[in-house]
Structure 1
Amino acid sequence: MIIHRHVRANMEDVKSAADGGNDDHQLNCYGIVFPENCDTYYGPHSVECLTTIWKSKGCLVEGSKAPVKLNTAEKEALDLLNVNKVLDTFELVQVEAHGGDKDKGLECYGIVYPENCDSYHGPHSIECLITIWEEVDCKVKGYRFPGNLTTTETDALSSLNLTYVCIIKMVSFLYV
């Protein structure tokens, strides 16, 4: 019985140290070091903690479901999850967005993918680049029309995230 109490007390000490911020004990107790700004494994989670996780998964604060933009019910739902589940939930949003889900693209990146575009980060197809070109009302005869670019220029453009591609096309529209 004394050994049982000693083992239990040791485990409680490990958990207490983990909850107190000790990285080694967090690994021992929860199998994870808490992300920056996260003080506990179980909720409630601060907006700062959720934002750290959100950004670590590649989503942007411009996303419609960024932690600072959540309504009370959405925030409370996340507070019911442990840190690992929050990590998984946010990763799924990013994976689905990166897979071309336009709704998840809006949630994660704050942008609705243009037609023919199925990824925020690229590479973007020539059809995607042409769609963006046409959305800013540029013409096929334009010198910077994606179909007129060199392979090097197209590759460079297609590897940018959609926000930058749209900005570059807008600048091209205004200054070419």
Structure 2
Amino acid sequence: MEDVKSAAVGGNADHQLNCYGLVFPENCDSHSGPHSVECLTTVWESKGCLGEGTKAPVKLKPSEKQALDSLNLDDVANNFETTRAEADGGDKDKGAQCYGLAFPENCDSYNGPHTINCLITIWEEVGCKVKGLKYPGDLTSAELNSLKNLDLR
């Protein structure tokens, strides 16, 4: 058993799976912390959050990084996944943490699909007018569908 763990820590993917139940993500050298910023960034991005997020690993305060270092890779992944799930559930603070922006009013996900009210809100926030030719309320179904599934950026 010690040989399996030693091989896992040494980078053997099969033994990582045997010992920990997962293959370490790219840039991650161990299951337990401390974790490099590169490792945390790999996990962060694998959970769908962006480098623009206010809690992206490169932007963490030392105390926040230290808190993540006390977690194993499974717990880090769960933490990041929860941040994204809460962001996609409409939590504006988590939206900023994960995606680097607060969702506009009437928008409750980063990736979509977005409601017509969300698209109209964005249209108005950027300063376009209702009489504009591409006003979301006047688009064809095909044009509207192409917008609905774009990310908010």
TM-score, normalised by the number of residues in structure 1: 0.86
Amino acid in structure 2 at the alignment position of 1:43? G
Measured after TM superposition, the shift of residue 64 of structure 1 is: 0.3
Distance 1:137 1:19 in 2: 54
Amino acid in structure 2 at the alignment position of 1:23? A
Distance 1:14 1:141 in 2: 67
> Which structure is higher in helix share?
1
Name the counterpart of 2:10.
20
Measured after TM superposition, the shift of residue 139 of structure 1 is: 1.3
Instruction: Give 5+ residue unaligned stretches, structure 1.
Output: 1-10, 164-176
Per-residue CA deviation, residues 13-36 of structure 1 (Å, 9 max, x unaligned), is: 111100000111111111111000
**Aligned match for 1:158, one of 133, 144, 148:** 148
Q: Structure 1 residue runs of 4+, over 2 Å off?
A: none
**Count of matched residue positions in the alignment of Structure 1 and Structure 2:** 153
Instruction: Give 5+ residue unaligned stretches, structure 2.
Output: none
DSSP 3-state at the match of 1:113: coil
Name the counterpart of 2:131.
141
Amino acid in structure 2 at the alignment position of 1:94? R
Distance 2:128 2:22 in 1: 50
Which structure has the greater CA radius of gyration?
Answer: 1
Distance 1:100 1:68 in 2: 24
Name the counterpart of 2:58.
68
DSSP 3-state at the match of 2:11: coil
Matched, 1:98 2:88: yes
Instruction: Give 1:5-44 correspondences, 5 Å limit.
Output: 11-44=1-34
TM-score, normalised by the number of residues in structure 2: 0.98
